[in-house]
Amino acid sequence: MSRGIGQPTHFLDPDPRFPFPHSPTPTRCQTEPKLFDFSHGDRSGSTRAATEKRLEQAGTACSRCPIARDCLKWALVNEPLTRIGIWAATTPGQRTDLRKRMADRLGPAWIDVLAERDQARRERAAAARHNPLTVNQARIVRLDRELNGPMRRPLTPKEQQRNRDRLMAGLKAA
């Protein structure tokens, strides 16, 4: 992609907090890039049905891709670099809608929020590698998920105590 005259050079530089996704094996977008070549309103096929079929093929390829999640995040964050093409099974218009939804949900600084969350996740993963859970702690986590499902909101002190009692009873039974 070429830079426009008078356009700041940083405008087309990717956000360094979000590395470009890589896969150890070639992905379909690398082996068949023409399938993912699409711009907003693109109707390069002879009919709308042909375009829809091509979009469906790209979506199927992306659904099997091991880096689709990171690809979507990169495409959302780096809007100037992804104004055309299929990225993680999304069209340019769909990505625009997703960016609006992210801004509504996380605020106008949603990219910073994502970067902070990613950094915190990396730090937790690094800490876990150096301080793995004990067998009993891993059992507690597993039992907690089985009993309560994924945590959606902070638990009240009463709920925390109830869960501790249940988990300890489960450990004694195991």
CA angle, 161 then 166 then 167, to 5°: 95
Q: Is 64 part of a structural domain of the chain?
A: yes
Look-up: residue for tokens 């950094």? 119
Q: Which of 59, 77, 111 is the last residue of a domain?
A: 111
- Per the domain annotation, does 69 fall within a domain? yes
pLDDT of residue 119: 93
Confidence band, pLDDT 50/70/90 cuts, at residue 173: confident
Q: What is d(CA 95, CA 40) in angstroms, rounded to the nearest whole number?
A: 10
* 3-state SS string for the chain: CCCCCCCCHHHHCCCCCCCCCCCCCCCHHHHCHHHHCCECCCCCCCCHHHHHHHHHHHHHHHHCCCCHHHHHHHHHHCHHHCCECCECCECHHHHHHHHHHHHHHHCCCHHHHHHHHHHHHHHHHHHHHHCCCCHHHHHHHHHHHHHHCCCCCCCCHHHHHHHHHHHHHHHHHC
- Among residues 81, 111, 141, the one where a domain terminates is 111
**Same domain membership, residue 100 and residue 62:** yes
How confident is the model over 63-104, as pLDDT tens digits? 889 999 999 999 999 999 998 899 999 999 999 999 999 999
73 and 158 belong to one structural domain: no
Interatomic CA distance for residues 89 and 63, integer angstroms: 7
Residues 33 and 99 in one domain: yes
Token code pair at residue 79: 């809007």
In a domain, 49, yes or no: yes
Whether 1 maps to a domain, the answer reads no
Q: What are residue 55's phi and psi, to 5 degrees?
A: -65, -40
pLDDT tens digits, 24-47: 999 999 999 988 888 755 655 567
* Banded model confidence at residue 1, pLDDT cuts 50, 70, 90: very low
> Does residue 93 sit within a domain?
yes
Same domain assignment for residues 97 and 32: yes
Using a cut of 0.75, tell me whether the model's pTM lies above it. no
Last residue of a domain, one of 111, 142, 160: 111
* Contact present, 18 and 77 (Cβ < 8 Å): yes
Q: Report if residue 119 sits inside a domain.
A: no
How many structural domains does the chain have?
A: 2
State mean pLDDT over 121-137: 87
Q: Are residues 106 and 164 in the same domain?
A: no
- pLDDT (0 to 100) of residue 43: 59
Range of the domain at 159: 128-173
Residue 118 lies in a domain: no
